[in-house]
Structure formats: structure tokens, C-alpha cells
């Protein structure tokens, strides 16, 4: 959630001089300090709107669904100024959470115009700021007496001669993302020689010929490292220097560059042992696992489906698909490399889309429970790691047997919960009204012509009309299907799997 606008932030593109910034009392802060202040200010704004502590923390991460304890740990780590390592099973939402942090990160900063690594203007004129955040060698040459870096003294630089601009951090300029692999070498992080600049300058050791690597691109901002444990040890050591000292020393450079940023990294469980100890010590490790609450897993699917093309899948089928994947998680180890992703959040999201695709190809609208079975098999088998034909087929049989065992109980649970909500919430547990609805529904379920009458004749089938309105408001079936047809499909599922009974113990989060 975006923070409320600040009155003290200038418009992007505003130009000034270091003298202007000094006169205005502009602070020189580290990225971690700026991040902390932004998070605290945003939380204060959310609390002022009436949100309690837990709701305010959740609102910081609108596209990620995790436990309240995880949100608490993440925000506490940010406020403390820590670098982060999110570890856990594949597909649990680690990278999504890291992206949420970048979305939350404050992006407006004052920089020295034309500085490739975004030096703060005051680091060139204020000895205290220069000591804490040394300017880059390029700016040192630019503002040193007669261009001699040995003669650079921030106290003697004319502040009116240091041009400043207020910019927004973006990829390559204050934000860098690194995908871990064995082929990411140290120069990916430190930078490479720009041959065109080398030809112009002629000195291969000059900092002016350096093309900034990922760490320099992240200076004054945010670094996201996916699968950090897959980085070679030599590359990890380059990152370690930046985290320890806030500087980066390219292999062919005589001088160090500033590399101050907030680092957020991710790792699957199987790669944790590959992170060297000194680097691991610089990161606050936070476990990001699968959600235990059914309502949270449903929210993950709902958020993802909001971005997908509008294809109606009855809520009972969506809900039952989530329950099958949850049952798999309870009964399968997270760290099995061959089937570790079968129960991932990506599978949760994929089930409804695959179900809709199967039904669409068969010309069925909306999907049926058989389409859900096919959708589950497509989504879950597609997450099996194919190491060999035999192992894949063995795991494929395992998934198929599991789906066949748990699909019917999941459908019964989902249909039961759906009916109980309607029976208790709308019918107020009036069994006579329930029997009348069932009677009307059985007349309408397979007769499309008859179903069109409720819309044309308001007094016809009044109880089914009320049910159809409930389905429309709850499920938002969209323009591809009428509310009466959507209600008929839900009625069929209720009739098949709930038997229109409502048990006292029927609840969302009770395990299968």
C-alpha cells in the first residue's frame, strides 16, 4: 500500500545545488535508514485510518499473503536496518515478498547530476557525509582541485558548483535484481570495462571506463538476489564486501566505488548450505513457508485470478482445488526435490486456470467436477521435476492416486461450507425455505429455457432468484454466463456433494 504523499518531497526532476540542499537541512541517510523511516511513516498513516496493528502490517504487503508472525518479523527486520534472507519451500512466496519490499522502498532521492552510481550531493561538500558515504572516484575527479583525486577535500568544494537533481530510483539506477546461478561471476556484480569509453580515454585502469555491475547499480537503493545459494563462492565474497563495508572494488580498478543498499535475498531449502557463513551472518534469515489457514490460501488464489482473463469457475471448484493442494502439503515433505513444487503456491494458482482451460477445450461452460480433476492433474503433474522417465512416471502415479483419494472429500467439504453459509446467513436456518429452494432448483438446473423465466417474470421461482443473486454477488461470474446459469451450476455441485446438509463442525480451516 502506498504511503500518503509527503509535503516535503520535491517534484521529480527538480534541480538545485548542494548549497541549496545544505541550506534546506537535507538529511544524508543510508538506504536502510530511509527504508525504516518510510515504513514507520506508512504504518502511522495506516493506524491513523483506524487499522489495528496486525491489519496495518498486512496492508504493507497487498499482493502477498503470509502469516501475521511473518509480517511482524519482516517489518521488525526492516526497522532494525537488517539485510534479509527469505528461505523456505519453492513457491511459498519468497520472491513475491521481496518484490513487495521494493514496492514499499522510498524511491525519490537527491543525486549528483550525471553520477553513474547516484552519489548524494552533500557527500561532496560535507566532510562528515563524505566519511560516512564516500563519493565515487568519478565524482572525486570531477570536483577535486585540477581533477587530481589526491587533492580532493569536501570542505573546499564549492557547494554551488555541485549540481543536484531529485530523481526516482529505477532498475539499473538504485535497483538491481540478480538471479543466482553458477554462471554469475564476480564481474557481474562489480562491472565490466566499457570498450567505447576505453577507446576514448585510453587508460584501462581509469574508473571512467567502468560499466557499473549489479552492486553499483543498486547503490543508494535496493538489491534483490534470487536464489542466493546458487551463487559461486567467489561471487558471494564480492557481495559480502559490499554488505560489510558499503563499497565495491572492481577487479581491474585501482579504486573502490560506493555500494550501499538494502539487500533482500531468497533461497530454497536445498541451497541453504551453499551460502558461506560470513555472508549468512550478514543476513537476517526469515522462514517463509506455506500458509496453514485455508482462508489465506484462498486469498492467494483470488488475488491471482483477479489478474487472469475472466473465465468463470464456480467457487466450490476453486475452493476444493485449494483443499486438495493443502492436503498434499500436509502429507508430503517440503524438501523432496522431485515433488517439492507440487504443493506450491504456483500450483494453487494454476489449478483454477487449468480447470477452466480443460472445460473451454471441451466446450463446457462452466467447468464440472471432472474438469477440476483434470485441472488438478495438469497443475500438479506439471510441477514434478523430470529427472528421468521412470521417476517422473512414478511420481505421476503418486499424484494421480492422491487426487483420486482426496478430490471427493474436498468437494464435499467445499460444498458443505458453501451451503452452510447460505443456509445460516440467508435462509436463517429455515428448513421450509431450504426445501422450497431445493424444489425450485431441481426444476431449473437442467432447463435453460425455464431458467430464463425468473429474469423476465419476477414472481417466478422467487427462492431461486434470491439464490442466483447470492451467487452473482459472491462469485462475480462475469459477462460470459448469466447469473441464473451460474447459480444452476452451483446448485448441481451442492446437490451432488453437500446433499444440502449443514453440519455443526463444517468450517473452512478444519483439515481433511
Residue 9 resides in a domain: no
Would you put residue 372 in left (φ > 0), alpha (ψ -120 to 50) or beta? Answer: alpha
Residue 10 resides in a domain: no
Q: Are 440 and 461 in contact (CB under 8 A)?
A: yes
Residues 151 and 215 in one domain: yes
Distance CA 372, CA 378 (A): 10
Q: Are 340 and 90 in contact (CB under 8 A)?
A: yes
- Domain residue limits at 313: 294-498
The pLDDT score that the predictor gives to residue 254 is: 76
User: pLDDT digits over 354-403, tens only?
Assistant: 999 999 999 988 999 999 999 999 999 999 987 777 888 999 999 999 99
Largest CA distance in the chain: 95
- Count: domains in the chain: 2
**Of 235-249, 257-271, 306-320, minimum mean pLDDT range:** 306-320
Residues 343 and 478 in one domain: yes
Average pLDDT over residues 31-50: 97
Residue 427: all three cell numbers together: 435462509
Strands (E), 172-330: 174-179, 191-193, 210-212, 221-226, 247-248, 257-258, 261-268, 283-287
Average pLDDT over residues 48-61: 96
Residues 354 and 450 in one domain: yes
User: pLDDT digits over 466-511, tens only?
Assistant: 999 999 999 999 888 999 999 999 999 999 999 898 876 556 666 5
Residue 504 resides in a domain: no
Q: Are 122 and 192 in contact (CB under 8 A)?
A: no
| Percentage of the chain exceeding pLDDT 90 | 76
Residues 362 and 260 in one domain: no
Concatenate the DSSP letters of all residues of 261-280 into one string: EEEEEEEEGGGGGGS-HHHH
Residues 308 and 185 in one domain: no
Average pLDDT over residues 312-322: 96
Q: Beta strand pairing status for 83-88 and 15-17?
A: unpaired
The pLDDT score that the predictor gives to residue 390 is: 84
Of 253, 269, 286, which marks where a domain is finished?
286
Average pLDDT over residues 179-188: 94
The pLDDT score that the predictor gives to residue 213 is: 92
User: pLDDT digits over 415-440, tens only?
Assistant: 999 999 999 999 999 999 999 999 99
Residue 147 resides in a domain: yes
Average pLDDT over residues 135-164: 93
Residue 445: all three cell numbers together: 438446473
Residue 7 resides in a domain: no
Residue 214 resides in a domain: yes
Residue 108: how many CB atoms within 10 A of its CB?
A: 15
User: pLDDT digits over 150-173, tens only?
Assistant: 999 999 999 999 999 999 999 999
Residues 403 and 331 in one domain: yes
Residues 261 and 370 in one domain: no
Residues 282 and 302 in one domain: no
The pLDDT score that the predictor gives to residue 1 is: 46
Q: Are 472 and 298 in contact (CB under 8 A)?
A: no
Distance CA 244, CA 280 (A): 12
Distance CA 267, CA 290 (A): 15
190: CB partners within 8 A, 6+ apart: 213, 215, 216, 238, 248, 249, 250, 251
Helix 431-444 vs helix 483-493: angle between axes, to the nearest 10 degrees?
110
Residues 114 and 235 in one domain: yes
The pLDDT score that the predictor gives to residue 210 is: 74
Residues 237 and 278 in one domain: yes
CA atoms within 13 Å, Cβ hemisphere of 183: 0
Specify which residues 225 forms β-bridges with.
Answer: 178, 265
Q: Is the dihedral of CA 201, 206, 212, 214 positive or negative?
A: positive
**Euclidean distance between the first and the last CA atom of the chain, given in angstroms as a whole number:** 35
Residue 148: how many CB atoms within 10 A of its CB?
A: 10
User: In the predicted model, is pLDDT for residue 309 greater than 80?
Assistant: no
Of 251, 267, 286, which marks where a domain is finished?
286
Q: CATH number of the domain at 222, please.
A: 3.40.50.300
The pLDDT score that the predictor gives to residue 511 is: 57
Residues 468 and 336 in one domain: yes
Give the mean pLDDT of the chain: 91
Residues 247 and 343 in one domain: no
User: pLDDT digits over 84-131, tens only?
Assistant: 999 999 889 999 999 999 999 999 999 999 898 999 999 999 999 999
The pLDDT score that the predictor gives to residue 456 is: 59
User: pLDDT digits over 203-242, tens only?
Assistant: 654 556 678 899 999 999 999 999 999 999 999 999 999 9
User: pLDDT digits over 405-414, tens only?
Assistant: 999 999 999 9
Average pLDDT over residues 4-13: 75
Of 249, 270, 286, which marks where a domain is finished?
286
Residue 153 resides in a domain: yes
SS3 448: helix
Residue 261 resides in a domain: yes
Distance CA 325, CA 380 (A): 8
Amino acid at each position: 500500500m502506498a504511503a500518503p504523499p509527503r509535503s516535503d518531497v520535491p517534484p521529480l526532476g527538480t534541480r538545485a545545488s548542494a548549497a541549496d540542499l545544505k541550506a534546506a537541512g537535507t538529511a544524508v541517510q543510508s538506504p536502510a535508514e530511509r527504508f525504516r523511516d518510510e515504513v514507520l511513516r506508512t504504518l502511522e498513516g495506516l493506524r491513523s485510518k483506524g487499522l489495528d496493528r496486525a491489519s496495518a502490517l498486512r496492508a504493507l504487503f497487498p499482493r502477498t499473503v503470509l502469516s501475521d508472525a511473518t509480517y511482524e518479523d519482516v517489518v521488525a527486520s526492516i526497522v532494525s536496518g537488517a539485510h534479509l534472507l527469505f528461505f523456505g519451500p519453492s513457491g511459498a512466496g519468497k520472491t513475491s515478498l521481496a518484490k513487495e519490499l521494493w514496492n514499499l522502498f522510498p524511491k525519490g532521492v537527491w543525486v549528483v547530476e550525471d553520477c553513474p552510481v547516484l552519489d548524494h550531493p552533500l557527500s561532496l561538500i560535507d566532510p562528515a557525509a563524505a566519511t560516512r558515504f564516500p563519493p565515487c572516484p568519478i565524482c572525486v575527479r570531477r570536483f577535486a582541485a585540477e581533477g587530481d583525486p589526491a587533492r580532493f577535500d569536501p570542505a573546499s568544494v564549492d557547494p554551488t558548483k555541485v549540481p543536484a537533481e531529485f530523481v526516482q530510483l529505477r532498475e539499473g539506477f538504485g535497483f538491481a535484481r540478480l538471479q543466482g546461478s553458477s554462471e554469475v561471476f564476480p564481474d557481474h556484480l562489480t562491472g565490466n570495462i566499457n570498450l567505447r569509453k576505453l577507446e576514448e580515454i585510453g587508460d584501462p585502469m581509469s574508473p571512467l571506463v567502468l560499466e557499473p555491475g549489479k552492486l553499483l547499480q543498486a547503490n543508494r537503493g535496493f538489491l534483490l538476489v534470487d536464489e542466493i545459494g546458487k551463487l559461486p563462492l567467489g561471487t558471494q565474497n564480492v557481495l559480502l564486501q559490499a554488505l560489510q563495508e558499503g563499497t565495491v572494488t572492481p577487479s581491474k580498478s585501482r579504486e573502490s566505488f560506493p555500494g550501499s543498499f538494502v539487500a533482500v535475498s531468497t533461497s530454497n531449502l536445498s541451497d541453504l548450505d551453499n551460502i558461506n557463513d560470513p555472508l549468512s551472518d550478514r543476513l537476517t534469515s526469515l522462514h517463509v513457508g506455506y500458509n496453514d489457514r485455508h482462508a489465506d490460501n484462498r486469498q492467494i488464489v483470488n488475488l491471482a485470478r483477479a489478474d487472469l482473463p475472466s473465465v468463470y469457475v464456480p467457487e466450490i471448484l476453486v475452493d476444493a482445488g485449494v483443499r486438495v493442494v493443502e492436503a498434499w502439503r500436509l502429507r508430503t515433505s517440503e524438501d523432496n526435490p522431485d515433488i517439492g513444487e507440487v504443493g506450491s503456491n504456483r500450483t494453487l494458482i494454476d489449478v483454477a486456470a487449468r480447470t477452466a482451460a480443460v472445460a473451454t477445450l471441451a466446450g463446457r461452460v462452466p467447468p464440472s467436477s471432472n474438469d477440476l480433476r483434470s485441472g488438478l492433474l495438469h497443475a500438479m503433474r506439471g510441477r514434478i521435476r523430470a529427472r528421468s522417465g521412470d521417476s517422473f512416471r512414478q511420481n505421476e502415479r503418486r499424484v494421480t492416486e492422491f487426487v483420486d483419494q482426496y478430490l471427493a472429500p474436498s468437494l464435499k467439504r467445499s460444498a458443505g461450507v458453501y451451503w452452510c453459509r447460505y443456509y445460516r446467513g440467508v435462509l436463517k436456518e429455515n428448513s421450509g425455505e431450504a426445501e422450497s429452494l431445493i424444489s425450485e432448483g431441481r426444476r431449473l438446473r437442467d432447463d435453460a429455457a425455464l431458467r430464463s423465466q425468473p429474469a423476465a417474470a419476477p414472481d417466478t421461482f422467487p427462492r431461486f432468484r434470491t439464490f442466483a443473486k447470492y451467487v452473482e454477488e459472491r462469485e462475480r461470474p462475469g459477462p460470459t454466463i448469466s447469473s441464473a446459469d451460474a447459480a444452476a451450476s452451483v446448485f448441481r455441485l451442492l446437490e451432488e456433494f453437500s446433499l444440502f446438509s449443514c453440519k455443526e463442525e463444517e468450517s473452512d480451516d478444519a483439515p481433511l
